Each structure stands twice: as C-alpha cells, then as structure tokens.
Homo-oligomer: A and B are copies of this chain.
Amino acid sequence: MTQTLDRSAVPDGTPSALSVIDTDVHEMIGNPLEFLQYVEEPWRGRIHPDNWMGISIPYSWPTTGGLARPDARPTNGLRAGSDYQLMRTQHLDAFNIKHAVLTGLLYPSEFKVQPDFAVGLSQAYNRWVVNEWLAKDSRFLGSICVAAQRPDDAVAEIEKWASHPQMVQVLLPVISHDTMGRDYYHPIYEAAVRNNLVVGFHQGANVETAVGLPTYFLEWHTAISQAWQCQLISLVVHGVFEKFPDLRVVMIESSWTWLPHLMWRFDHNYRSLRREVPWVKRLPSEYIRDQVRFTTQPMEFAENPDHLYQMFEMVGNDEFLMFSSDYPHWDFDAPDRSLPSSFPPDIRRKVLHDNAAKFYQLGAAR
C-alpha cells in the first residue's frame, strides 16, 4: 500500500465514514482482443499493429509508473484500470465509493481524420462498457461515448443508451482544433437535455495550449486547463447555455482554481463587449454558476490552506465542486486527502457526496 493510500493519516474532521461519489474513474481496455470483439466491420479489420494502434499522449511520462499509479497495475501485466476486481478492492471498497462515474479514455471525438471510424469506435466503446463494466457493479455510472464530429450519429448513440439505468452523461473530449459552442454541436446538447443527461468534458489526449504542444510534459500539465477554459468560454459566448437552460455541464479534470479569474475577466469583458454577442443575455458567471460543475482532481495545493478555501468561496456557489479521484492515474487524489483542512465539514460533505448526488440526480432509485 502506497503513501497515497495510507488511511492512518486521515486529517481531523474528515468524514471517513461518509460515502463518496467519485466523478472521474478511468476504466481501461486491458486486452485489445477482448475490445475488438465489440468493434464492427469494416472498422475491426482496420485496427492492427501495422495501422491504427490506439490513442496516446505525445509525451513520455516522467513518473515512475508512467501515466498510472504503479500499484494499480494488475498482476497480469495489462493496463492499470483494466481489472475490475483490483479496482473494486483498491478503490471502491477501500474508500467507501457509493458511485463511480466511469470516464474511460477512448474519445473518438478528438480524431481529426476518418469520422466514420470514430463513430464505429464510439459504438464499440458503449457496448463494451455496458457489458464489461456497468453489468458487473451497480456502483458504476456510465458515460455515453460519441463522435461529436458526426452530430447525427452522436445523437443516435445518445438515444440508443440514454435509457440504460446507469448511464448519466454524454462525454466529450476537450480538444484544441474546434470550439464546442458552435451551432454544429448543438444537436448533441439538445439530445442530452432531452434525455436528462449531463454533458461531461474530459481532457483529450492531444489537447494543446496557447503555444501548441509545449516542450516538456511539466509545461503541458501546468497549462492544460487552458483548453477547458476556452471551451467553457465558447459555450457561453455561442449562447449554448442561453439556448439550453436545462443543460448541465461538468468540466472533469480541468482543475478549478482558475475559475474566479475567468469569471471576473469574462464578466468585465462582457459588460464592455456584449454588443458583439447580443444572444448572450446574462452575465457569463451566472450561466457558469447555474449550469456548470467542476471536479476536484487535480487539486492544487496552496502553501496556506486558507487561501484554497478563499478561492473556493470566491466562486460564489458551494455546489460547484464535486470530488474526483482520477483513479488509476499517477496524480490520483484519495477522497480523505483531496481537500485541505481549511474546508469545513459541511463543505467536505457537499464536495465528497452531496453536490454530485444533486447534479447527477442520484436519488433513491440509485
């Protein structure tokens, strides 16, 4: 058991007995041959070591375990996050996880080429996650994978799976080559609202920063939230929240301590520049507070823990933040260590459980 999992170090006041909702758990494809069974032809035959080999980020990882916690790798040598039994023991049971929102790591929306292949992979992912994960544990909640570059197909995929009792959201990747507020994508938001699903945005593998892909992983990982910020700005400015007032969006793994800065600047600019976008009727911060949530991981740490709680209060809505672990990745945050001591118990409870229960509408039925 690693330091990260040393529960003897639970800080005073942590509700360790509280059940936790984890909004970002990566269930991974272990054996590619098993996943290939879910891919239909003609796409199955196109996946081959001499051809397409899957998605990978452009950097080698400078951590000991690569992208993952070393202790999360199964004894069979396959990828961390691919073994349900290990995930159950090491994460769900160990931390009293009541619900874990599965976010996968296969995001065909980010493909710049061959959109039909992206559609085929999204369909395969959904069949796979339903059979291989959701069916195994009622604590799992699912994300519908779509290929956003083909909105009609994306809507069809949403309609196909929305009635599954464990499906709670549509997952889109944060990309750099397009802005997701554009009208082109509105049918996806409309379908999510119609089916009472959240729309989640998670980092894509090749997302860029304001200088493209910077030289080092440290640079990339420090600046990567910029793409979420741009997508959030785009959703507001293109009027998505105005058009779909019931749309619920969650920014997953975006971090959140940039949010006061962005809301202040956005509102200030809006007051001066709104004649450019007359379809945006309210202050940007109002849409964000009402319709957008954020997940905790990667949690930043201030030298003075009071500063982190001041930052939380600046957002102006104590429902905006929901716990996430990012299991099984290298920068995993444990529920009992995610928030510093400056966060009072009632806020800890909201972040670890209540905010996600309300936002994902996880009532008695779940």
Contacts and interface: CB of A to CB of B under 8 A. Distances in A.
Given A230-B210, A237-B219, A258-B258, A302 B314 contact: yes
Contact of A265 (B214, B227, B231, B255): B255
Interface stretch (A31-39, A113-121, A152-160, A175-183): A175-183
A84 interface: no
Contacts of A181: 215
Nearest to A274: B218
A233 B210 contact: no
A223 B229 CA distance: 7
Interface string A258-276: 1011101111111011111
B260 A302 contact: yes
Contacts of A262: 222, 258
Interface string A208-225: 111110111111011101
A269 B217 CA distance: 10
Given A227-B210, A229-B226, A216 B264 contact: no
Interface string A269-309: 11011111100000000000000000000101111100110
Contacts of A177: 211-212
A166 interface: no
Contacts of A258: 258, 261-262
Contacts of A215: 179, 181-182, 234, 237-238
Interface residues of A, number: 67
Nearest to A208: B210
A41 to B, nearest CB: 35
B275 A62 contact: yes
A233 B214 contact: yes
Contacts of A274: 218
Contacts of A308: 264
A311 B178 CA distance: 32
Contacts of A351: none
Nearest to A175: B211
A2 to B, nearest CB: 13
Given A62-B276, A215-B238, A258-B262, 10 more contacts: A210-B230, A211-B230, A214-B234, A216-B277, A222-B265, A226-B230, A255-B261, A257-B264, A260-B307, A303-B316
3 A-B pairs with least C-beta separation: A62-B276, A210-B226, A264-B300
